Amino acid sequence: MEKLIFEKSVPGRKSHYLPSLDVPEKTIDELIPEKFQRKQDARLPELSELDVARHFVRLSVKNHHIVKGFYPLGSCTMKYNPVINEDQARLSGFRELHPLQPVEMVQGALELMYELQELLKEITGMVDVSLQPAAGAHGELTGLMMIRKYHELQGNPRKYVLIPDSAHGTNPASVTLAGYEAIQIPSDANGCVDLAKFKEHLNDDVAALMLTNPNTLGLFEEHILEITAALHDIGALAYMDGANLNALLGIARPGDMGFDVVHINLHKTFSTPHGGGGPGAGPVAVSDRLQDMLPVPVVEKQEDAYRLNWDRPKSIGKISSFWGNFSVLVRAYTYIRMHGSEGLRRVSENAIINANYLRTKLEKHFRLPYPGKCMHEFVATGEKLREYGLRTLDLAKRLLDYGMHAPTIYFPLIVREAMMIEPTETESKETLDAFADAVAQILLEAQENPDLLKEAPHSTPVARLDEVRAVKQLDINYFTNLEN
Ligand SMILES: *Cc1c(COP(=O)(O)O)cnc(C)c1O
């Protein structure tokens, strides 16, 4: 069969691989009930193209983003997103796809999905992958649903999922959504899972442990093999939150650590511009214990053709309206192929080197609750700002006046006045030095003129917003904003 997807597109020509559909024409009245039909012309803004272009450029520089400045938001992996990803995602053969096209017409897209699955299998050391989940949190729910199905099929449904106290908030939320009860496991003095406390909680009602590795303190869980083996001994499974995979590429694999399922935040590790809730993709990779439970349909290769296999009796079913967030998959595929295995390893090595460089510079200013080498990120405490009547939040806001985004603050919850700093591999030494200099300068300001920090930022279009109100009273109407 011909592969039409990669065919060169012809400018001005409509989708060249759609069949001519023999659909009878209908009038508007037949298609749309009268109550939904517009009675007068829509009030659309009348603007020239130049005005529109200027409007968006102006807006784009009002906000802070990775193309404008440093963005060391821990756990979020705000790395630079190569433009080539966007070029690939915009190829007309990809962009004009419709998820209801028959598989014969979308062989190129299925090939890309299949190849991406294979690459993610190699990167994670797991036996199979589903690309369907639309975000990390969605991957968590998918993974937990598979774990639930696994135990049910064993005739032994269980009640609890263990979660370390340093976990991301989505972990307990997903556990609850999946119908389990979360049990919190404390961290030890080194910032890793407290092994003795963990073992106290092991019993026949434990379905799984959910663990981030490296954890949200930027530390590699030292006893990982012992932990996953102890879980398997009681018939429980091991879930890895893979949001921090940026530290492990080509160095260590969840599959080799004994995990049964890991979600991968493609938008973090494999670069898609994200933030403000999307877009993302959170594929899950599984061990042979969970392979049969993967969501349907599964993308498979049969001789030279690709197909969607729905015939999987032990599957948890479908968890996405269609096949996944395809344009994010294209970006991740491009990023992985562009780097190759050597390049991906260098991504992680440089992410770790950058984090440790910045850590040693900032150690002079802030106490590190878990000192010593970190992986791709580290956590410091801004508690000494309290001496000047200030908080970590004030330093975070003042950084914006220096053209830099704040690190993640007040997370993880186990560190007071936490600052979680992830520089990523794409930043230069000059940028890291500039950040350390800005922090030093702000600490001087804190001593001399604390109000400067309290009222910061001074250089942005809006200063301190009530973020909760913005979410609860969402106002995205063009005209109300214009009139106000
Ligand atoms: C980002 C993140 C998540 C959630 O991923 P989303 O794609 O935002 O849903 C879960 N765990 C950790 C550790 C994360 O950093």
Of 303, 338, 373, the residue that ends a domain is 338
CATH number (domain holding residue 436): 3.90.1150.10
Distance 450 CA to ligand 1 centre (A): 34
d(CA 218, CA 407): 14
Q: From ligand 1's centre to the CA of 170, what distance in Å?
A: 7
Q: Which of 338, 364, 383 is the last residue of a domain?
A: 338
- Backbone dihedral region of 445: left (phi > 0), alpha (psi from -120 to 50 degrees) or beta? alpha
Q: Are residues 332 and 370 in the same domain?
A: no
Q: Which residue range(s) make up the domain with 331?
A: 88-338
Q: Is the CB of 241 under 6 A from ligand 1?
A: yes
Answer yes or no: is the C-beta of 408 below 6 A from any ligand 1 atom: no
Same domain, 217 and 105: yes
Does the residue 186 lie in any domain? yes
Q: Are 414 and 166 in contact (CB under 8 A)?
A: yes
Atom of ligand 1 nearest to the CA of 139: 9
448 lies in the same domain as 330: no
Does the residue 313 lie in any domain? yes
Does ligand 1 come within 6 angstroms of the Cβ of 245? Answer: no
**In the block, which residue shows the tokens 């369907």?**
132
66 touches ligand 1 (CB under 6 Å):
no
Domain shared by 302 and 381, yes or no: no
Residue 277: what pLDDT?
Answer: 67
Q: How far is the CA of 139 from the centre of ligand 1 (A)?
A: 9
What's the pLDDT tens digit per position in 164-179?
A: 999 999 999 999 999 9
Residues 328 and 361 occupy one common structural domain: no
Task: Answer whether 213 contacts ligand 1 (Cβ < 6 A).
Answer: no
Q: Is residue 248 part of a domain?
A: yes
- Residue 110: what pLDDT? 97
Residue 448: phi, psi to the nearest 5? -85, -35
| Residue of the CA atom closest to atom 4 of ligand 1 | 136
Query: What is the residue-wise DSSP string for 397-420?
Result: HHHHHTT----EES-STTSTTEEE
What is the predicted pLDDT for the residue at 7? Answer: 40
Same domain, 101 and 149: yes
Residues 366 and 313 in one domain: no
Ligand 1 neighbour 315 (Cβ under 6 A): no
Domain membership of residue 113 (yes or no) is yes
Q: Determine the residue of 170, 240, 245, 325 to mutate for testing ligand 1's pocket, defined as the one with the most ligand atoms within 8 A of the Cβ atom.
A: 170
Tell me the C-alpha distance between 423 and 428, whole Å.
Answer: 9
The domain spanning residue 134 has which CATH number?
A: 3.40.640.10
Ligand 1 centroid from CA 262, angstroms:
12
d(CA 176, CA 163): 12
The domain total for the chain is 2
Asked whether residue 195 falls in the same domain as residue 220, the answer is: yes
DSSP secondary structure letter of residue 295: P
Strands 418-421 and 408-409: antiparallel
Strand pairing category for 160-164 and 206-212: parallel
Domain contains 224:
yes
- Between the CA of 305 and the centroid of ligand 1 the distance, in Å, is 34
Which of 241, 376, 377, 414 to probe ligand 1 with, by most ligand atoms within 8 A of CB? Answer: 241
Cβ atoms of residues 374 and 219 within 8 Å? yes
∠ CA(178), CA(153), CA(172), 5° rounding?
20
Block mean pLDDT (10 aa), the chain, length 484: 40 47 73 88 89 92 92 96 96 94 96 98 98 97 98 96 95 97 96 97 98 97 97 98 98 98 98 84 98 97 95 97 95 98 98 98 96 96 96 97 96 95 98 98 97 96 85 72 50
Distance of alpha carbon 239 from alpha carbon 146, whole angstroms:
11
Check whether residue 103 and residue 183 sit in a common domain: yes
The answer to the question of residue 20 being in a domain is no
113-159 tens-digit pLDDT: 999 999 999 999 999 999 999 999 999 999 999 999 999 999 999 99
State if residue 216 touches ligand 1 by the CB under 6 angstroms criterion.
Answer: yes
**pTM summary value:** 0.89
Q: Is residue 344 part of a domain?
A: no
Whether 173 and 253 share a structural domain: yes
Q: Which helix (H) or strand (E) holds 302?
A: strand 298-302
Q: Which of 314, 338, 362 is the last residue in one of the domains?
A: 338
Answer whether residue 168 is part of any domain. Answer: yes
Residue 319 and residue 204 in one domain = yes
Residue with tokens 């400045």: 69
With 0-12 / 13-18 / 19 or more C-beta atoms within 10 angstroms meaning exposed / middle / buried, residue 365 is middle
Q: How many Å apart are CA 359 and CA 166, to the nearest integer?
A: 20
Output the pLDDT for position 5.
Answer: 42
Q: Name the residue of 76, 141, 168 whose CB sits within 8 Å of the most ligand 1 atoms, as the mutation to test its pocket.
A: 168
Whether 122 and 232 share a structural domain? yes
pLDDT tens for each residue of 18-61: 555 566 777 888 888 988 988 888 888 889 999 999 999 999 88
* C-beta 324 within 6 A of ligand 1: no
282 lines ligand 1 (CB under 6 A): yes
How many whole angstroms from 243 Cα to the centroid of ligand 1?
6
- Ligand 1 close to Cβ of residue 168 (< 6 A): yes
